Amino acid sequence: MVISKTRIKKSENKKMKSSDDIMYADARYKTAEGVKESLVRYMMQVVGRDPKFADKNDWYKAVSYLLRGYLSHNYLKSARNEVKDDYKRMYYLSMEYLPGKNLRKFIIDADMESNLNQALEEFKISIDDLEEFEPEPALGNGGLGRLASCFFDSIATHGYPGHAYGIRYEYGLFRQSIENGEQKEYPENWLTHGYPFEFERSELVYPISFGGEVVKFINNDGKEQRQWEPAERLKAVAFDIPVSGYKTESATSMRLWSARADSDFNLDSFNTGNYIDAVKEKTNSESLSKVLYPEDSTLAGQVLRFKQEYFSVSASVQDIIRRFLRTHSDFNELPEEVSIHLNDTHPTLAIVELIRILVDEHGLHMNDAWRIAQGVFSYTNHTLMAEAMETWPISVFEELLPRHLDIIYYINQDFMDRVKVRFPGDLEKLSQMSLIDDADRRVRMAFLCIVSSHHINGVSELHSQLMKDSIFNNFYQMFPERFTNVTNGITPRRWVRQANPKLAGLITKTIGSDNWVTNLDLLTGLNNYSSKKSFTKELLKIKSQNKERLANYIKEIWDIDVDTNSMFDIQVKRIHEYKRQLLNVLHIITRYNRIKSGQDLTKRTIVIAGKAAPAYKQAKLIIRLINDIAVLINNNEEVNNKLKVVYIPDYNVSKAQIIIPAADLSEQISLAGLEASGTGNMKFSMNGALTIGTMDGANVEIANCVGEDNIFIFGLRTPEVADRKNDYDPRYYYDKNSELREVIDMIGSGYFNPENPERYQDIVNSLLNEDKYMLLADYESYVQAQEKVDACFENQSEWANKSVINIANMGFFSSDNSVANYAKNIWNLKKTKK
């Protein structure tokens, strides 16, 4: 009897699909019917609602869980393949990510748009309805964070074994509102109603320690060893958010760490009856991952930020080692198996943490651990500005990471020995290149990165060259082979296919397939269409529809009517003096004066958006000035049929998706040599806007790709800026140019703010007495370039022709290209898919 029972079971088992079959062949989502069935199940089983009574928010959740479910198949399959074939993996460490909203992206990537729309029809819901309920993870400040997210879109789409690590900030970048012309900041808690795309991995937890002291002891081999005995401990818990690839089965994930109190560690306080203190300590520990620092260049230098940086990289490095040890045991193999990339210096401590773990926890010799680290790490620099260079006081190390400071001293000693050999007798070099700034008693994080990385790259040709010529020149002389360039890129999936579906449709129809979405060089096929009337007509129509959408949005938020026939002249990015939003302002006032004096100018709608760091007074003052000017101009009957100025509050990825496709003109006007790359410049151009810009960052390469006839370049070149630095006199330009003088005098006299005429005195003073970013030197050339822009816009077919050439030649700026470069030249990675 027993035997036959077993037999029945076995034969039943045969009929049952294996878990692999289920994992690898999920056909449910291939039809509208299948999607609908799944959706109703998710609604009942996960959301817990009756589909009959579900509201839009419920449907948003059900669709999101369905997508998460679908993507987890792809993610798990990709992860399994990586392990099975022992692929080298790249781990990207970044303090910031800006993925934008995920719902629409996941739907497009899963090729589910039409099935899902059909499935939702019965419930009278559209995908647009659902998007409104999705919170936006604003886990970054700007360019650097968005770059990381573009790269991961490319990594997932092309099947590279890459994994992202960061922090699950509870509060993302503040929400900006403009009140009486001023920026006000509000907390942005994107997790209030939960985030349906994440998986909490409560089993994936690592201890994180701070403080205490380093003790010496004699180990079993009779050698002196050092050990860190920390005083404070907390935990990092993993949360994974899937990253989908476009119409492919490959996928990856973003692993974000959240801080938790270490309950065991607090037990003492409980036992001694100090309950309140124990709970306080818990809140204190958990505050570590609470909030993203809103600075994007000047460093606040807060201890909490330092702790965040260590928290994030310590958890990540522990996780990387755990993953490595699942299939390997010899740490000498680490450089062949693992590549760790540092997104700027913010995760530098990962280097020291890896060495510490190898030496203190796995018994390696310091020199071996140090050699292994140099085979593993690579570093991207994103800025040359001295004030943005990260350094941390030695006292902070002593207090919080004493063992890490030991290791940094070891590295520095080893490095200084090498400097002595390379530059014999040059004592100055020793102090210039030391990882420790002796005068200030601070650790120089960028130097630590350079010394520890096999590759160091800048983010545009110009920036990479300047890196070698200026701030890192000593290091370049020592390690020329380490320095390289990888020009930034942006994903055409989000920035064209998703943000500008009509343009995407036109391109697909014209080229004959949608292969360009993953192979952007195919856009060159459009070059033949630049003077084909039927094509340019459609292109202009699409631009006009996108402008209509932005105009409606402007009407909604400000109740301002803007004319979609006017030129949409747009500058959106963080507000910073070096980015020169003020130069844009000088031009706006010039236009205002010219119109008032009776000149007939091209009609323009000038749009500006961006956030200022809350403590950056001058940047906030610039925002206020723009808004004061906007009120005056928009209400002035004499000019407002020729000129409108609009400040769009709370710029973020979603807003960018509405604003950028609507632009005719893209403003990229930083002082030459200061914008490392820029990526907004690429987004605009890919959407058919023409650029007015300086020869800075990636603008230089954009000019090369589209040709100088199809871009409006003005201003001093980098060498000219350097030449003039020492004897620059802004008053010379003020005295010489009466139009400029009038503009500055208007700002200074309170023309735009008669209720408080002193308000912008600081701005005028800084322009006339220092003008650090040489606005006055570039003013005349900027205004002349703007005149050329006007003339060109008046000839719409010429404009359209240039617009097509811009789009057609943007292939180089696909993040697919940047990632392929990193993979080949820096990470040494192979794709897991053919």
Q: Which residues are annotated as catalytic?
A: 382, 573-574, 579, 679, 683
Q: Per CB under 6 A, which region of 97-105, 237-245, 383-391, 412-420 contacts ligand 26Q?
A: 383-391
For residue 606, give both structure tokens. 């000038």
Residue 791 lies near ligand 26Q (rule: CB under 6 A):
no
3-class SS of residue 833:
coil
Q: What are phi and psi of 205, to 5 degrees?
A: -130, 140
Our CA dihedral for 446, 448, 453, 458, rounded to 10 degrees, sits at 10
Question: How would DSSP label each residue in 398-427?
Answer: HHH-HHHHHHHHHHHHHHHHHHHHHSTT-H
Pick 385 or 560: Cβ nearer ligand 26Q: 385
Residue 389 lies near ligand 26Q (rule: CB under 6 A):
no
- Long-range contacts of the stretch 178-187 (C-beta < 8 A, 24+): 178/623, 178/627, 178/647, 178/649, 181/623, 181/624, 181/627, 181/628, 181/631, 182/620, 182/623, 182/624, 182/627, 183/611, 183/612, 183/614, 183/620, 183/623, 183/624, 185/294, 185/614, 187/291
Pick 94 or 518: Cβ nearer ligand 26Q: 94
Pick 249 or 295: Cβ nearer ligand 26Q: 295
Q: Per CB under 6 A, which region of 54-62, 288-296, 413-421, 550-558 contacts ligand 26Q?
A: 288-296
In the complex, the smallest distance separating the C-beta of residue 316 from ligand 26Q, rounded to whole angstroms, is 17
Pick 457 or 803: Cβ nearer ligand 26Q: 457
In the complex, the smallest distance separating the C-beta of residue 703 from ligand 26Q, rounded to whole angstroms, is 16
Q: Per CB under 6 A, which region of 32-40, 676-684, 790-798, 815-823 contacts ligand 26Q?
A: 676-684
Q: Tell me the CA distances in angstroms from 470 to 197, 383, 437, one per residue in order.
A: 44, 12, 18
Contact residue for ligand 26Q among 51, 100, 137, 142 (CB under 6 A): 142
Please give the Cα distance from 64 to 596 (Å, whole number).
Answer: 54
Strand 690-693's sheet: what is its strand order? 643-648, 604-609, 567-572, 665-668, 690-693, 712-713
Pick 134 or 390: Cβ nearer ligand 26Q: 390
Pick 634 or 821: Cβ nearer ligand 26Q: 821
Residue 293 lies near ligand 26Q (rule: CB under 6 A):
yes
**Which residue, chain included where needed, has tokens 């299939």?**
327
Residue 673 lies near ligand 26Q (rule: CB under 6 A):
no
430: number of Cβ within 10 Å:
14
Residue 144 lies near ligand 26Q (rule: CB under 6 A):
yes
198 near 235, Cβ under 8 Å?
no
3-state secondary structure 659-726: HHHHCCEEEECCCCCCCCCCCHHHHHHHCCCEEEECCCCCHHHHHHHHCHHHCEECCCCHHHHHHHHH
Site string for ligand 26Q, 629-668 (x = CB under 6 A): ----------------------------------------
Residue 678 lies near ligand 26Q (rule: CB under 6 A):
yes
Contact residue for ligand 26Q among 459, 606, 653, 713 (CB under 6 A): 459
Residue 697 lies near ligand 26Q (rule: CB under 6 A):
yes
Q: Which of 674, 657, 772, 676 is nearest to 717 (CA)?
A: 674
In the complex, the smallest distance separating the C-beta of residue 383 from ligand 26Q, rounded to whole angstroms, is 6
Q: Per CB under 6 A, which region of 291-299, 554-562, 582-590, 725-733 contacts ligand 26Q?
A: 291-299
Pick 382 or 683: Cβ nearer ligand 26Q: 382
Pick 679 or 691: Cβ nearer ligand 26Q: 679
| Binding to ligand 26Q in span 533-572, by CB under 6 A | none
Site string for ligand 26Q, 30-59 (x = CB under 6 A): ------------------------------
For residue 18, give both structure tokens. 């294996």
| Binding to ligand 26Q in span 590-629, by CB under 6 A | none
In the complex, the smallest distance separating the C-beta of residue 676 from ligand 26Q, rounded to whole angstroms, is 4
In the complex, the smallest distance separating the C-beta of residue 721 from ligand 26Q, rounded to whole angstroms, is 16
713 near 693, Cβ under 8 Å?
yes
Pick 335 or 458: Cβ nearer ligand 26Q: 458
Residues forming a β-bridge with 165: 93, 255
Residue 681 lies near ligand 26Q (rule: CB under 6 A):
no
3-class SS of residue 574:
coil
Contacts for 67 with CB less than 8 Å, ≥ 6 apart = 103, 106, 107, 110, 112, 197
Residue 408 lies near ligand 26Q (rule: CB under 6 A):
no
In the complex, the smallest distance separating the C-beta of residue 529 from ligand 26Q, rounded to whole angstroms, is 30
Which H or E run contains 604?
strand 604-609
In the complex, the smallest distance separating the C-beta of residue 210 from ligand 26Q, rounded to whole angstroms, is 18
197 near 68, Cβ under 8 Å?
yes
In the complex, the smallest distance separating the C-beta of residue 696 from ligand 26Q, rounded to whole angstroms, is 9
Count the site residues for ligand 26Q by CB under 6 A: 25
In the complex, the smallest distance separating the C-beta of residue 303 from ligand 26Q, rounded to whole angstroms, is 11
645 near 606, Cβ under 8 Å?
yes
Question: How would DSSP label each residue in 148-209?
Answer: HHHHHHHHHHHT--EEEEEE--SB-SPEEEEETTEEEEE--BTTTT--TT-EEEEEEEEEEE
Question: 650: phi > 0 → left, psi -120 to 50 → alpha, else beta; which?
Answer: left
Residue 436 lies near ligand 26Q (rule: CB under 6 A):
no
Q: Is the dihedral of CA 677, 679, 681, 687 positive or negative?
A: positive
Residues forming a β-bridge with 261: 234
Pick 390 or 701: Cβ nearer ligand 26Q: 390
By beta carbon distance, the residue nearest ligand 26Q is 143
| Binding to ligand 26Q in span 474-493, by CB under 6 A | 488
In the complex, the smallest distance separating the C-beta of residue 570 from ligand 26Q, rounded to whole angstroms, is 17
Please give the Cα distance from 600 to 594 (Å, whole number).
Answer: 8
Residue 26 lies near ligand 26Q (rule: CB under 6 A):
no
Contacts for 266 with CB less than 8 Å, ≥ 6 apart = 278, 281, 282
Angle between helices 533-558 and 501-511 (to 10 degrees): 170
584 near 571, Cβ under 8 Å?
yes
Residue 434 lies near ligand 26Q (rule: CB under 6 A):
no
Please give the Cα distance from 525 to 527 (Å, whole number).
Answer: 6
Contact residue for ligand 26Q among 163, 282, 346, 442 (CB under 6 A): 346
Residue 297 lies near ligand 26Q (rule: CB under 6 A):
yes
Pick 346 or 403: Cβ nearer ligand 26Q: 346
Residue 382 lies near ligand 26Q (rule: CB under 6 A):
yes
Please give the Cα distance from 818 to 146 (Å, whole number).
Answer: 14
Contact residue for ligand 26Q among 453, 487, 677, 694 (CB under 6 A): 677
Pick 144 or 808: Cβ nearer ligand 26Q: 144
Residue 143 lies near ligand 26Q (rule: CB under 6 A):
yes
In the complex, the smallest distance separating the C-beta of residue 576 from ligand 26Q, rounded to whole angstroms, is 8
Which H or E run contains 816?
helix 815-821
In the complex, the smallest distance separating the C-beta of residue 56 from ligand 26Q, rounded to whole angstroms, is 35
In the complex, the smallest distance separating the C-beta of residue 684 from ligand 26Q, rounded to whole angstroms, is 13
Residue 464 lies near ligand 26Q (rule: CB under 6 A):
no
656 near 609, Cβ under 8 Å?
no
Residues that bind ligand 26Q (CB under 6 A): 141-144, 147, 293, 295-297, 299-300, 305, 346, 382-383, 388, 390, 459, 488, 675-679, 697
